[in-house]
Amino acid sequence: MTTCNHNLFVALRAAFPADLAATAIEVADGPGAGAHYSWADLERGTAMLANLLHSLGLPAGSRVAVQTEKSVEALMLYLAVLRAGYVFLPLNTAYQAAEIGYFIGNAEPAVVVCAPKNFAWVSRIAFSAGTGHVFTLGEARDGTLLERAAAMPDQHAPAVVQADDLAAILYTSGTTGRSKGAMLSHGNLLSNALTLKDHWGWQPDDVLIHALPIFHVHGLFVASHGALLNGSKMVWFGKFDPKAAIARMAGATVMMGVPTLYVRMLAEPTLTREAVTTMRLFISGSAPLLVETFDSWTARTGHVLLERYGMSETVMLTSNPCRPQHGPRRRGTVGPALPGVQLRVIDDTGAACPADSIGHIQVRGPNVFAGYWRLPEKTAEEFTTDAQGQKWFKTGDVGKVEADGYVTIVGRSKDLIISGGYNIYPAEIEGFLNDMPGVAESAVIGVPHPDFGEGVVAVVVAQPGATLAPAAMIGQLKASIANFKVPKHLFVVDDLPRNAMGKVQKNLLRDQHQGLFG
Ligand code: MLC
Ligand code: AMP
């Protein structure tokens, strides 16, 4: 009897080219710039790391939490966690102690891997939360993880997993409240990767410019799985630098980015038609792409940006067409639902909206996550069941579907700011502000920002008799939370505008400050 193994790593490994000595990843910047990793290196490196994880005797379903700078070894660690059958938990490198404490406390990882420079504080948090093993991994192949893995065998039989076994947990807010761990299975990730491989027409000689972080869906899953599942080479940037990315486009064919990446490349005079002659596909997502950016990109490069839409809970949901015969890439839209994904728009009463009418976007499909980590009630709230008994996930996005299926996102019902492709939850920042001495209440909003799409702004009311110092408050936030979440401006006001129900009218605050960033 043969056992069918649904391990995502097995599918990725099966797509490696026959010539294992060929380059899989070329490092374009940072300490390893110029290094080439072959497919054989990925095979051996992930085997050694998977063997290290196995040697720890971890229980099934153990989480491996990782907060390290981007490196090929960090990608190998992700692949090794899949290979060994454990659950990968990536963490933004900007998170500080309060944030890391929350994630580690909530997810209870058996293993934590952090940057060598953070070992002192991360290990203190991890060990006090019961984590058994803390390793370090630096950008320059330094740290205890690789030292330990170096002594391990370089062959490893991938763990046998079921399609609905957990592969990763990604922390995200959902529609409200504190960060929740979205549980993604091997089946969720593989089904989406296979759909995108076909939909985006991956070709045998494709070369991907990988310039996104690998702690979110976009860089870790959409970009990396795309290249790996096609046996395609990646040009690996640890950090996005528009000049360097443009310079490296000669010989490359595909790039994925959040809109800020395209805005920044457009500001470079070196972005010309000649610079992109070998490129065939530029994909944008994670945040709304302005039509000005879409148009400027076409005018400058001759390429029509392909915009798509997704979430941590669902991976990719919609995409503009890749091939002309499937239709145009329509600016301002995120394209039709991907094959296998069902998407509907529902009004406030729960009825289906007619074509072109705005409502709440709900989705279902093999890509939709299993639920939030240890939050069955919250999970139940975020799904709804239709008359046929089918479950739909409430995305928290507001939009419409045209008669020919193209989806447009017009806003969000969730109180969420997306800045440079990172999600920021106003409630979290308001919590930190409200805890500061002399603060009566606060409202955090996102307003248009030319670089980041939305910029974070705080509006704060002082307690009677208290005097607040905005610069000092911003300084205090910088010391406590990830830098991208820190408001770029903080205003002290007498009152917050409220409606008859007493709810803060953030729309009025957004209107008032909408020209702030020019
Ligand atoms: C950096 N800064 C930001 C910021 N990134 N501020 C607001 N929003 C951001 N996104 C600020 C820092 O706080 C710092 O300010 C200053 O900019 C310099 O920091 P940096 O780290 O050097 O910035 P930089 O390298 O320029 O980063 C910008 C960026 C990065 C756009 C390259 O934010 C990025 O890689 N974004 C991509 C995010 C992403 O991959 N999202 C996908 C999510 S998945 P100070 O004052 O402290 O000096 C998802 C699902 C889907 O949403 O559909 O894909
Ligand atoms: P995250 O929780 O980080 O996965 O972010 C998912 C959210 O990003 C979605 O719910 C949308 O609000 C937003 N998003 C992703 N892609 C797009 C897009 N192309 N246009 C508008 N919003 C997007």
Pick the atom of ligand 2 nearest to 285's CA. Answer: 19
In this prediction, residues 449-460 reach a mean pLDDT of 98
What domains are defined for the chain?
8-23+35-231 (3.40.50.980), 306-411 (2.30.38.10), 416-512 (3.30.300.30)
> pLDDT digit string (tens) for 251-263?
999 999 999 999 9
Residue 35, phi-psi category: left (phi > 0), alpha (psi -120 to 50), beta (remainder): beta
What is the Cα–Cα distance from 259 to 322, expressed in whole angstroms? 18
Q: Which ligand is nearest to the CA of 238?
A: 1
Mean of the per-residue pLDDT values of the chain? 97
Question: Is the model's pLDDT at 1 over the cut of 60?
Answer: no
Q: What is the pLDDT of residue 363?
A: 98
Smallest CA-to-CA distance from 179 within 81, 313, 309 is with 313
| Torsional class of 235: left (φ above 0), alpha (ψ -120 to 50), beta (otherwise) | beta
Give the model's pLDDT for residue 114.
98
Q: Does residue 311's CB lie within 6 angstroms of at least one atom of ligand 1?
A: yes
Vertex 339, ends 337 and 341: CA angle to 5°? 55
pLDDT given at position 225: 98
Distances (CA, A) of 264 to 46, 217, 244, 259, 293: 34, 21, 12, 9, 10
Give the model's pLDDT for residue 173. Answer: 72
**Does residue 2 carry a pLDDT above 60?**
no
Compute the C-alpha angle 420/421/426, nearest 5°: 85
List the one residue out of 287, 283, 342 whose CA is nearest residue 317. Answer: 342
- 290-301: per-residue pLDDT in tens? 999 999 999 999
- Residue 392 pairs in a beta bridge with 384
pLDDT digits (tens, 9 = 90+) for 185-239: 999 999 999 999 999 999 999 999 999 999 999 999 999 999 999 999 999 999 9
Nearest CA to ligand 1 atom 33: 420
What is the spatial distance between Cα 89 and Cα 171, in angstroms, rounded to a whole number? 8
The per-residue pLDDT for range 113-130, each reduced to its tens digit, is: 999 999 999 999 999 999
For residues 472-493, average pLDDT: 97
Task: Give, for ligand 2, the residue of 282, 397, 412, 425 to mutate: max count of ligand atoms closer than 8 Å to Cβ.
Answer: 397
Give me the pLDDT at residue 124, please. Answer: 98
The model's pTM is 0.97
Using DSSP's 3-state secondary structure scheme, residue 368 falls into coil
Beta partners for residue 37, in sequence order:
25
- Which ligand 2 atom is the nearest neighbour of the CA of 173? 2
Nearest CA to ligand 1 atom 10: 420
Going from the Cα of 423 to the center of ligand 2, the distance in angstroms, rounded, reads: 9
- Which protein residues touch ligand 2 with a CB less than 6 Å away? 172, 217, 285-288, 307, 309-312, 334, 395-397, 409, 412, 418, 423
Using alpha carbons, select from 8, 340, 363, 315 the residue that is nearest to residue 163: 8
Q: Reduce the DSSP state of residue 36 to 3 states and report it.
A: strand
* pLDDT for 177 beyond 70: no
Nearest partner of 264 among 27, 28, 485, 452, judged by Cα: 452
Calculate how far, in angstroms, residue 207's C-alpha sits from the geometric centre of ligand 1. Answer: 24
**Ligand 2 center from residue 309 Cα (angstroms):** 6
pLDDT at 174 over 80: no
Question: Quick check: helix, strand or coil at residue 379?
Answer: helix
Q: pLDDT tier at 178 (50, 70, 90 boundaries)?
A: confident
Q: What is the pLDDT of residues 336-391, one digit of tens each?
A: 999 999 999 999 999 999 999 999 999 999 999 999 999 999 999 999 999 999 99
Q: How far is the CA of 316 from the centre of ligand 2 (A)?
A: 10
